[in-house]
Amino acid sequence: MLGKIGGGFSIAMKTLDGGRIGIAAQALGIAQGAMDETVRYTKERKQFGKSIAAFQNTQFQMADLQTKIEASRLLVRSAAFKKDSGQNYSTDAAMAKLYAAETAMEVTTKAVQFHGGYGYTREYPVERMMRDAKITEIYEGTSEVQRMVIAAKLFR
């Protein structure tokens, strides 16, 4: 037997909480990788005589995405710190997973868009990153489940 009688649900939830931090970190890595690849590509790709990185619209979109990546990084670090220091981290893990996974999906989708037709080919890694990002919204509890965990803490 593992744990006390009737304590299985609590053990399972603690396991999921820890896993959610790992999934959030995975999503963060995917998002940052897609950002790095897209920065590189937009510097090289020329349109109308200049790199597409020189266009203000590109810069604004990329700035917004990088801001979300950094916010994800802070949520992941905060949840990991709370776990490592023995604090209650269940809600923090849910927030980190929710935000990082949805950010990864947004960043990778935009990365594919910035790459144009190439973004959908296996010649560039962003198509795989987009598929990898999607699973982070699903396993260890979907985004909807994370919202339920967060809301339960708010309204208890």
Instruction: Report pLDDT for 16.
Output: 77
| Choice among 106, 127, 140, 144 that is catalytic | 140
Contact (CB, 8 A) for 62 and 42: yes
Instruction: Report pLDDT for 77.
Output: 99
DSSP-derived secondary structure letter, 121: S
Report pTM.
0.91
Contact (CB, 8 A) for 108 and 31: yes
* Distance, CA of 145 to CA of 132 (rounded, Å): 19
- 3-class secondary-structure state, position 107: helix
Partners of residue 51 on adjacent β-strands:
46
- The fold of 22-154 is Butyryl-CoA Dehydrogenase, subunit A; domain 3 (1.20.140)
Place 70 in a pLDDT band, splitting at 50, 70 and 90.
Answer: very high
The pair of structure tokens assigned to 131 is 């598929």
User: Does residue 140 have an active-site annotation?
Assistant: yes
> For the chain, what are the domain ranges?
22-154
Of 75-79, 96-100, 141-145, which gets the smallest average pLDDT? 141-145
